[in-house]
Structure 1
């Protein structure tokens, strides 16, 4: 039984060792800055540009709706891929369930489309 866990144990030991090595190398070889934090250091900085978003900024609901729709259709692809690969093995029941799933997602798409969630404002 222990033999089946041996590759996992070796992987854990090696990954922990590599992580510890990089932390120690960074501590020993990395630069040591002793600056006091200023407003420039505390400002948000993203992708090489200062952020225009202020602290109290709130995203609009359309941003969240688009994100949820992306997740919805991304999950659809994740569920449909295994069924498409092994459809003969799953049989007719899986085909019917997949069709119901796609119809429900299509109804949801029509609903959010009519509600205006796909229009970026």
Structure 2
């Protein structure tokens, strides 16, 4: 217990020192027009620098992150039965998987999982 307390305190102090020292050691360059302008082989930029962003790609990325977190929540379910009642574990696991399945079917019905190129 003491080791965890001491290591947490050392980590907290280390982070505090790093955060307080970084502005002092950072670069002190003056902002200039040339440094802030986009570089295109010496030519003036043509067109707008921003590209259109696909909302469908964003939705797929968010769904991937959600499923990634859900998989991270599923992994401890393999260890829990050794520490608890099997009936409670089975019920909670089934409930979690049911919610996960219903969410997947809902996303499928809404068309968020369709990855097609729109023309």
Query: Given the two structures, how large is their TM-score scaled by the length of structure 2?
Result: 0.60
Of 8, 27, 33, the match for 1:37:
33
Partner of 1:88: 82
Runs of 5+ unmatched residues, structure 1 = 45-51
1:67 is aligned to 2:53: no
Q: CA deviation at 1:81?
A: 1.4
Please name the residue that 1:16 is paired with.
16
Runs of at least 5 residues in structure 2 that lack an aligned partner in the other structure: 40-47
1:47 corresponding residue in structure 2: none
Cα 1:43/1:4, change in 2 over 3 Å: same
Q: CA RMSD in A?
A: 3.5
Secondary structure (helix, strand or coil) at the match of 1:77 reads helix
Relative to 1, partners in 2 of residues 1:97 and 1:4: Cα closer, same or farther, differing over 3 Å? closer
Normalised to the residue count of structure 1, the TM-score between the two structures is 0.59
Number of residue pairs matched?
A: 106
Deviation at 1:115, TM superposition (A): 2.8
